[in-house]
Protein backbone atom coordinates (compact mmCIF):
# COMPACT_ATOMS: atom_id res chain seq x y z
CA UNK A 1 0.00 0.00 0.00
CA UNK A 2 2.65 2.54 1.05
CA UNK A 3 4.96 1.62 -1.85
CA UNK A 4 2.11 2.08 -4.34
CA UNK A 5 1.27 5.49 -2.96
CA UNK A 6 4.91 6.62 -2.95
CA UNK A 7 5.48 5.40 -6.51
CA UNK A 8 2.30 7.07 -7.79
CA UNK A 9 3.21 10.27 -5.94
CA UNK A 10 6.73 10.55 -7.38
CA UNK A 11 5.48 9.67 -10.86
CA UNK A 12 3.12 12.65 -10.56
CA UNK A 13 5.59 15.14 -9.13
CA UNK A 14 8.94 14.08 -10.63
CA UNK A 15 9.43 17.32 -12.59
CA UNK A 16 8.13 19.58 -9.83
CA UNK A 17 10.37 17.89 -7.26
CA UNK A 18 13.42 18.41 -9.50
CA UNK A 19 12.64 22.09 -9.90
CA UNK A 20 12.99 22.77 -6.17
CA UNK A 21 15.66 20.18 -5.37
CA UNK A 22 18.53 22.66 -5.08
CA UNK A 23 17.20 23.96 -1.74
CA UNK A 24 18.75 20.89 -0.05
CA UNK A 25 22.52 21.29 0.16
CA UNK A 26 24.43 18.01 0.18
CA UNK A 27 27.84 18.68 -1.38
CA UNK A 28 29.78 18.92 1.87
CA UNK A 29 28.58 15.41 2.83
CA UNK A 30 29.37 14.05 -0.62
CA UNK A 31 32.84 15.63 -0.42
CA UNK A 32 33.45 13.89 2.89
CA UNK A 33 32.67 10.55 1.16
CA UNK A 34 34.59 11.33 -2.00
CA UNK A 35 37.95 11.77 -0.24
CA UNK A 36 37.58 8.26 1.18
CA UNK A 37 37.00 6.61 -2.21
CA UNK A 38 39.51 5.41 -4.80
CA UNK A 39 39.39 7.16 -8.20
CA UNK A 40 36.68 5.61 -10.37
CA UNK A 41 35.03 3.77 -7.47
CA UNK A 42 31.55 2.35 -8.06
CA UNK A 43 28.53 3.82 -6.27
CA UNK A 44 24.94 2.61 -5.95
CA UNK A 45 22.34 5.35 -5.35
CA UNK A 46 19.14 3.97 -3.79
CA UNK A 47 16.09 6.14 -4.54
CA UNK A 48 18.19 8.16 -6.98
CA UNK A 49 15.33 10.32 -8.24
CA UNK A 50 16.21 12.35 -11.34
CA UNK A 51 19.96 11.88 -10.78
CA UNK A 52 20.51 15.58 -10.10
CA UNK A 53 22.24 16.77 -8.02
CA UNK A 54 23.66 13.66 -6.27
CA UNK A 55 24.57 11.36 -9.17
CA UNK A 56 25.66 14.21 -11.43
CA UNK A 57 28.03 15.48 -8.73
CA UNK A 58 29.54 12.00 -8.25
CA UNK A 59 29.63 11.22 -11.98
CA UNK A 60 31.43 14.51 -12.73
CA UNK A 61 34.09 13.45 -10.20
CA UNK A 62 34.73 10.27 -12.19
CA UNK A 63 32.77 7.68 -10.19
CA UNK A 64 30.74 4.85 -11.76
CA UNK A 65 27.06 5.30 -10.96
CA UNK A 66 24.19 2.85 -10.73
CA UNK A 67 20.87 4.33 -9.59
CA UNK A 68 17.63 2.60 -8.69
CA UNK A 69 14.25 4.19 -8.07
CA UNK A 70 10.69 2.93 -7.69
CA UNK A 71 9.32 5.73 -9.93
CA UNK A 72 9.41 5.25 -13.71
CA UNK A 73 9.17 9.02 -14.22
CA UNK A 74 12.16 9.69 -11.98
CA UNK A 75 14.21 7.07 -13.86
CA UNK A 76 13.12 8.58 -17.19
CA UNK A 77 14.46 11.96 -16.03
CA UNK A 78 17.66 10.42 -14.63
CA UNK A 79 18.37 8.68 -17.96
CA UNK A 80 17.88 11.99 -19.78
CA UNK A 81 20.05 13.88 -17.31
CA UNK A 82 22.90 11.33 -17.22
CA UNK A 83 22.61 9.15 -20.34
CA UNK A 84 25.79 7.13 -19.72
CA UNK A 85 24.94 6.06 -16.17
CA UNK A 86 23.00 2.90 -15.34
CA UNK A 87 19.51 3.60 -13.98
CA UNK A 88 16.92 0.93 -13.21
CA UNK A 89 13.30 1.05 -12.04
CA UNK A 90 13.34 -0.96 -8.83
CA UNK A 91 11.76 -0.97 -5.40
CA UNK A 92 14.55 -0.96 -2.81
CA UNK A 93 12.51 -3.47 -0.78
CA UNK A 94 12.90 -5.95 -3.65
CA UNK A 95 16.71 -5.85 -3.77
CA UNK A 96 18.29 -9.21 -2.95
CA UNK A 97 21.40 -9.96 -0.93
CA UNK A 98 24.56 -9.55 -2.98
CA UNK A 99 22.64 -8.19 -5.98
CA UNK A 100 25.09 -5.29 -6.37
CA UNK A 101 28.86 -5.11 -5.90
CA UNK A 102 29.91 -1.54 -5.28
CA UNK A 103 32.44 0.45 -3.25
CA UNK A 104 29.83 2.76 -1.73
CA UNK A 105 26.08 3.10 -1.36
CA UNK A 106 24.35 6.47 -1.10
CA UNK A 107 20.68 7.20 -0.50
CA UNK A 108 19.27 10.71 -0.08
CA UNK A 109 15.73 11.36 1.22
CA UNK A 110 14.47 7.92 0.14
CA UNK A 111 14.81 5.25 2.86
CA UNK A 112 12.12 6.96 4.95
CA UNK A 113 9.61 6.08 2.22
CA UNK A 114 9.68 2.38 3.17
CA UNK A 115 8.19 1.09 6.45
CA UNK A 116 10.62 1.77 9.30
CA UNK A 117 10.36 -1.84 10.51
CA UNK A 118 12.23 -2.75 7.32
CA UNK A 119 15.12 -0.31 7.82
CA UNK A 120 17.38 -2.71 9.74
CA UNK A 121 16.97 -5.45 7.14
CA UNK A 122 17.58 -2.91 4.37
CA UNK A 123 20.90 -1.84 5.91
CA UNK A 124 21.88 -5.50 6.41
CA UNK A 125 21.14 -6.09 2.73
CA UNK A 126 23.09 -2.99 1.70
CA UNK A 127 26.03 -4.36 3.68
CA UNK A 128 26.09 -7.41 1.35
CA UNK A 129 26.68 -5.06 -1.62
CA UNK A 130 29.89 -3.68 -0.09
CA UNK A 131 33.37 -5.02 0.60
CA UNK A 132 34.71 -4.69 4.15
CA UNK A 133 35.74 -1.05 4.35
CA UNK A 134 33.00 0.00 1.88
CA UNK A 135 31.05 3.18 2.61
CA UNK A 136 27.47 4.20 3.23
CA UNK A 137 26.11 7.77 3.04
CA UNK A 138 22.41 8.16 3.82
CA UNK A 139 19.81 10.65 4.91
CA UNK A 140 17.25 9.52 7.48
CA UNK A 141 14.41 11.18 9.38
CA UNK A 142 15.61 13.20 12.37
CA UNK A 143 12.55 12.51 14.55
CA UNK A 144 10.08 9.67 14.80
CA UNK A 145 7.08 9.90 12.49
CA UNK A 146 4.90 7.79 10.23
CA UNK A 147 2.06 8.94 8.03
CA UNK A 148 0.99 10.71 4.89
CA UNK A 149 0.82 14.38 4.02
CA UNK A 150 0.38 16.69 1.06
CA UNK A 151 3.70 17.05 -0.79
CA UNK A 152 4.21 19.19 -3.91
CA UNK A 153 0.59 18.70 -4.92
CA UNK A 154 0.34 14.96 -4.32
CA UNK A 155 -0.06 12.73 -1.25
CA UNK A 156 3.19 11.26 0.07
CA UNK A 157 3.96 8.73 2.81
CA UNK A 158 6.91 8.59 5.20
CA UNK A 159 8.00 6.22 7.97
CA UNK A 160 10.98 6.90 10.20
CA UNK A 161 12.49 6.52 13.65
CA UNK A 162 14.51 9.24 15.35
CA UNK A 163 18.20 9.98 14.80
CA UNK A 164 19.35 8.02 17.85
CA UNK A 165 17.49 4.87 16.82
CA UNK A 166 18.62 5.23 13.19
CA UNK A 167 22.24 5.29 14.36
CA UNK A 168 21.70 2.13 16.42
CA UNK A 169 20.13 0.38 13.42
CA UNK A 170 23.01 1.29 11.13
CA UNK A 171 25.51 0.03 13.72
CA UNK A 172 23.53 -3.19 14.21
CA UNK A 173 23.70 -3.80 10.46
CA UNK A 174 27.49 -3.90 10.76
CA UNK A 175 28.61 -0.32 10.10
CA UNK A 176 30.93 1.98 12.04
CA UNK A 177 29.72 5.59 12.15
CA UNK A 178 32.16 8.15 10.71
CA UNK A 179 29.90 11.20 10.72
CA UNK A 180 26.39 11.72 12.09
CA UNK A 181 24.86 15.17 11.55
CA UNK A 182 21.51 16.87 11.58
CA UNK A 183 21.29 18.94 8.42
CA UNK A 184 18.97 21.97 8.30
CA UNK A 185 19.07 22.80 4.61
CA UNK A 186 15.81 23.43 2.78
CA UNK A 187 14.23 24.60 6.03
CA UNK A 188 13.88 20.97 7.19
CA UNK A 189 15.80 18.72 9.55
CA UNK A 190 17.32 15.51 8.21
CA UNK A 191 19.90 13.17 9.68
CA UNK A 192 22.90 12.49 7.47
CA UNK A 193 25.07 9.50 8.32
CA UNK A 194 28.40 8.50 6.80
CA UNK A 195 29.48 5.01 7.88
CA UNK A 196 31.98 2.30 7.01
CA UNK A 197 31.31 -1.43 6.74
CA UNK A 198 33.36 -3.17 9.41
Ligand X SMILES: C[S@@+](CC[C@H](N)C(=O)[O-])C[C@H]1O[C@@H](n2cnc3c(N)ncnc32)[C@H](O)[C@@H]1O
Given the rule CB under 6 A, which residues bind ligand X? 3, 6, 10, 21, 47-49, 54, 68-71, 74, 91-93, 108-110, 113-114
Shortest separation between residue 13's beta carbon and ligand X, angstroms: 9
Q: Which residues of 88-113 are buried (b: 16+ CB within 10 A; e: fewer)?
A: eebebeebeeeebebbbbbbbbbbbb
Closest CB to ligand X among residues 91, 133: 91
Nearer to ligand X, 51 or 134 (CB): 51
Q: What share of the chain is helix, strand, coil (3-state, %, to 5)?
A: 40, 30, 30
Give the other-Cβ count within 10 Å of 65's Cβ. Answer: 23
70, 10 contact by CB (below 8 A): yes
In total, the chain counts a number of residues equal to: 198
In the bound complex, which residue of the shown chain has the CB atom lying closest to ligand X?
A: 49
CB of 31 to ligand X, least distance (A): 16
Q: At its nearest, how many Å lie between ligand X and the CB of residue 92?
A: 4
Q: Which is nearer to ligand X, 50 or 195 (CB)?
A: 50
In the complex with ligand X, the residue whose CB is nearer, 18 or 127, is: 18
Q: Which is nearer to ligand X, 42 or 74 (CB)?
A: 74
CB of 132 to ligand X, least distance (A): 26
Task: Give the start-end residues of each E strand in 31-189.
Answer: 42-46, 64-69, 86-89, 104-107, 135-141, 145-151, 154-160, 175-183
CB of 53 to ligand X, least distance (A): 7
Amino acid sequence: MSAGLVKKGYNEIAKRYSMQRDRYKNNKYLDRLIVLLKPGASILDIGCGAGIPIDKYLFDKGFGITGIDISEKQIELARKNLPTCNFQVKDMSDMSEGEYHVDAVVSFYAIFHIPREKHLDLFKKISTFLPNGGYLLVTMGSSEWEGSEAFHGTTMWWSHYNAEKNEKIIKRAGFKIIQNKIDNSGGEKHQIVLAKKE
